[in-house]
Amino acid sequence: MPSTYQRSLVKGICWEFFSFVITLIAVFLVYGNIYFSIKFTFLLTLVKMIFFFIHERTWKKIKWGKYEENFKQSQIKKRKINEY
Summarize pLDDT for 6-46 with one digit per residue, the tens.
Answer: 888 898 899 999 999 999 999 999 999 999 999 999 999 99
Residues 6+ apart with CB under 8 A from 66: 80, 81
Give the pLDDT confidence score for residue 1 in this predicted structure: 65
Mean pLDDT, rounded, of the chain: 84
Report the share of the chain in percent with pLDDT over 70.
Answer: 79
Buried-exposed string 16-52: b where 16+ CB fall within 10 A, e elsewhere: eeeebeebbeebbeeeeeeeebeebbeeebeeeeeee
pTM over 0.75: no
- pLDDT-derived band at 49 (thresholds 50, 70, 90) equals confident
